[in-house]
A and B are shown apart, each in its own frame.
Chain A
Amino acid sequence: MESVARLLGAVAVGALVVAGPSLAQNKPQNKTPNGMTTNIPGAIPGVHAVAPVADGQWTMPAGDYGNLRYSPLDQINTSNVHNLHVVGVFSDGIPHGHEGGPLVVGSTLYMVTPFPDKLIALDLTKPGFPIKWTFNPNPNIESQGVACCDVVNRGASYADGKIIYATLDNHVVAVDANSGQLDWETQTGDIKYGETTTMAPIIVNNVVFVGDSGGELGVRGKVTALDLKTGKILWRAYSTGPDSDVRIGPDFHPFYAKDQGKDLGVKTWNPGQWKIGGGTVWGWISYDPELNEIYYGTGNPGVWNPDMRPGDNKWSITLFARDPQSGMAKWAYQIEPHDYYDHDEIMENILVDMPWQGKERKLLIHPGRTGFVFVMDRETGQLLSVKPFEPVTWSKGYDLKTGDDNVAPGMATHFGQYTKDICPSSTGGKEFVPSSFSPKTGYLYIPAHNTCMDYMGTAVNYIAGTPYLGASVRMYPGPGGYQGELIAWDVAKGQKVWSIQDKDFPVHSGVLSTGGDVVFYGTMEGWFRAVDDRTGKILWQFKTGSSIISDPITFTGPDGKQYVAVYSGVGGWMGAVALAGHSVDDPYADLGTAGAMRKLKGVVEPGGTLYVFSE
């Protein structure tokens, strides 16, 4: 960390010397007038992060509140990245999907495992990074049977000396970062009603935010805010139901008419159906300290059979902006009213201030399952641009004036008959695995899928604690002879710059971009790669033990050297077919992914390992 501070200092001094004192007076480094916006060394003029980016530690899921997943560290760069080698390996022995990524606070690396959700602290000051301690929350084993898509966990956050994360059986735990002792524990959901928790909480000003999972089991989606000191529940904001439950009040100003009205979370459903209507919050939450708003997306409405839930089904598949203290909604935009495809939109919302068509704008960038990159004004919730990044057949393209999703003729899904050639499939043009944005290139690095599907609504009964699915889905590779790609997407131009295609598998890992002009990501075959951020040239790669479906991070060790860390371990929804107990002769298995992913069986085996690299 010291070296990072020194480095940042050097850059600041350099700027002063070159630009002279006038710049220093007019434009203090790293601060806007209200002291929050951060300038990043080497950034394109006018491109600002809204909050400090990861500065050598990695203390929250994305590294920063704006979800850039960008680190200015540049010891590892395009000229020496080919020297990267393994300096630490740690196996947790758990044969399930390793999603999310580790945290690094001070000289300790923290890893949250899939079920049984252990928190393992590794000592970065000692060779081989030995275990300091392990915290075991002992979650209820029955929770494994209500987890839709493998028994995963997407990580933790650090604040106030505590590591905070959620267990599969819906217990938020706060663990002392030094001693590994439990500080507090709060239950936020109930597996008896199909609720699980897999997302990584974030912490803003002494408030912990945690969502829920279970959109395939008839749960009611929500975000819970807890007090960082005590774990006491401060408020809940549901994704369905009356305005009071959704925390919609006089300050709520949705941009589009289609999202305006009273109690839409009740009126856009059959009577009472909102109580089991889904809209879970299992992805990423971002935060803008300047506007003082949190942003997140909600998941699919339940049940998957759209004919069983006439109406817009608000507020499923919706982006929300909320006040983090009160929880009250500022605006909302429903990306897909009356979902036909299980297109959850819980993906990352990347917050950047940058020039947009000649004007400095406060952007929210959301690439998601729909196959489109949404660029929005995060102050108002207005769509500025919606462009496809993978083949899209379900929509004719979004109407920026009305916010309408323009479902293509014949592409709606219904009860009792297959709608065919829907692209992207339920798993999307990209899944929850997060993109990265580099302020140096202005590119969004998207881990993309090219998977299509046939989808049919089926009859289903609601039985609490069992799946509430109501669809028969079979997925297959999309057109073009590839099934995934890492895309560099020029945000300002709204177009693809380069891509690295993967013929057989989706790109299903998080992405990390760095000040060293290197982008890191992994493949389902297990390759961990370093790529030139401007050209897409693969500069280095290493074959890990299993699939990479996790999010790489970078940090400065106690020795002042830069390290890169990533988990390897197949599983999750896309990787389920490679786990024990999954057959490939049923393309409808694994909620439809088995058909598209069967080639993965025999290519990788399950097993979770942390790898740490340095040059």
Chain B
Amino acid sequence: MRSVNLLLLAGALVLATGCRSGQNATSVAAGRAPVTKNPVGPVPGPAANVTYSVDPLLHDPVALQDGRRLFNWYNCSGCHGGHGGGGMGPSLRDRVWLYGSRDDQIFSSIAQGRSKGMPAWGTKIPAQQIWELVAYIKSMRTPYEPDPPVEPTNEMVPNPQHDTVLGEGTQTSVSEAK
């Protein structure tokens, strides 16, 4: 208990120091325009009614088609998979969002880039196109997804060219040793 008290005391001192330097500790957010409107990390302080940017093109069928096209044109598909299933970059079809799943957060990831190698596309392409990409990404695994992935329909037939008859020796089945 004593150590906890000490910690609290230390915290109070820090706050007091803050006051002395002329800043009102409670006014960090109040009365000022926030620096960012699309935070990636958690927002400090008590829950507040913050509104985040929403993709203006969500569910717009033309934007979805454009987003799908841009997904290939900007080589997003090369990293994230032909239909976003992953590859060099992470899957966009699963439920894992390293930097948040809100429209504005996906926008940020595309615009700002990410440290493990996601390029910062905001330096190269207009916001409109980024929103189209966001719309397409958000449509994955929904009925609105344009050009969804389809399974190959063809079944392989045995290839007569290939000699499957083995020579002398034994063909061992895996079960033998188990």
Contacts and interface: CB of A to CB of B under 8 A. Distances in A.
Contact of B149 (A392, A488, A588): A588
Contact of A499 (B72, B83, B119, B171): B171
Contacts of A535: 169-170, 172
A44 interface: no
Interface residues of A, number: 78
Interface string B73-99: 111011101111111111101101000
A467 B78 contact: yes
B85 A588 contact: yes
A461 B73 contact: yes
Contact of B82 (A147, A420, A580, A589): A589
Contacts of B21: none
Given A466-B74, A469-B78, A590-B85, A142 B115 contact: yes
Contacts of A499: 166, 171
Nearest to B89: A145
A581 B86 CA distance: 6
A476 interface: yes
Contact of A590 (B73, B75, B81, B154): B81
B169 A536 contact: yes
Contacts of B161: 388, 391-393
A452 B156 contact: yes
A6 B53 CA distance: 76
B82 A581 contact: no
A539 B176 CA distance: 10
Given A391-B161, A393-B159, A459-B73, A468 B169 contact: no
Interface in B126-165: 141, 149, 151-152, 154, 156-159, 161-162, 164
Contacts of B149: 585-588
A498 B171 contact: yes
Interface stretch (A278-286, A331-339, A477-485): A477-485
Interface string B43-77: 00000000000000000000000000000111101
Contact of A459 (B72, B116, B172, B173): B72
Contact of A576 (B86, B96, B117): B86
Contact of B169 (A474, A534, A587): A534
A531 to B, nearest CB: 8
Contacts, number: 203
B25 to A, nearest CB: 35
B91 A581 contact: yes
Interface string A378-389: 000000000010
- What is the size category of the interface that chain B forms with chain A? 35 or more
A467 B88 contact: yes
A498 B86 contact: no
A407 interface: no
A594 B162 contact: no
B118 interface: yes
A460 interface: yes
A502 interface: yes
B156 A421 contact: yes
B82 to A, nearest CB: 3
Nearest to A147: B88
Interface in A471-501: 472-474, 476-480, 488, 490, 493, 495-501
A580 B98 CA distance: 11
B68 to A, nearest CB: 12
Given A465-B119, A467-B78, A580-B96, A585 B85 contact: yes
Contacts of A195: none
A302 to B, nearest CB: 11
Given A393-B161, A585-B149, A145 B79 contact: yes
A594 B85 contact: yes
A540 B114 CA distance: 46
A131 B157 CA distance: 52
B75 A589 contact: no
Contact of B119 (A388, A452, A466): A466
A541 B172 CA distance: 14
B156 A497 contact: no
Interface string A587-601: 111111011000000
Contacts of A465: 119
A595 B152 contact: yes
Contact of A500 (B72, B73, B81, B172): B172
A334 B51 CA distance: 60
A335 B4 CA distance: 72
A467 B93 CA distance: 19
Contacts of B151: 587, 595
A591 B91 contact: no
B133 to A, nearest CB: 14
Interface string A425-456: 00000000000000000000000000010100
A146 interface: yes
B93 A583 contact: yes
A141 interface: yes
B171 A536 contact: yes
Given A452-B156, A466-B75, A536-B172, A582 B166 contact: no
B167 interface: yes
A586 B94 contact: no
A246 B44 CA distance: 58
B107 to A, nearest CB: 19
A581 B90 contact: yes
Given A463-B74, A499-B171, A587-B149, A145 B116 contact: yes
A537 B171 CA distance: 8
A146 to B, nearest CB: 6
B35 interface: no
8 contacts: A392-B159, A392-B162, A420-B154, A467-B75, A467-B78, A540-B177, A586-B91, A589-B87
Given A536-B171, A589-B82, 16 more contacts: A390-B162, A392-B159, A469-B77, A469-B78, A474-B152, A490-B167, A498-B166, A498-B169, A501-B171, A537-B176, A581-B91, A581-B96, A583-B94, A586-B86, A590-B87, A594-B85
Interface of B: 72-75, 77-79, 81-91, 93-94, 96, 114-119, 141, 149, 151-152, 154, 156-159, 161-162, 164, 166-174, 176-178
Interface of A: 141-149, 191, 216-217, 388, 390-393, 420-421, 423, 452, 454, 458-461, 463, 465-469, 472-474, 476-480, 488, 490, 493, 495-503, 529, 531, 534-541, 576, 580-592, 594-595
The list of the 9 closest CB pairs from A to B, nearest first, reads A145-B117, A467-B78, A586-B85, A589-B85, A588-B82, A589-B81, A581-B90, A538-B177, A498-B169
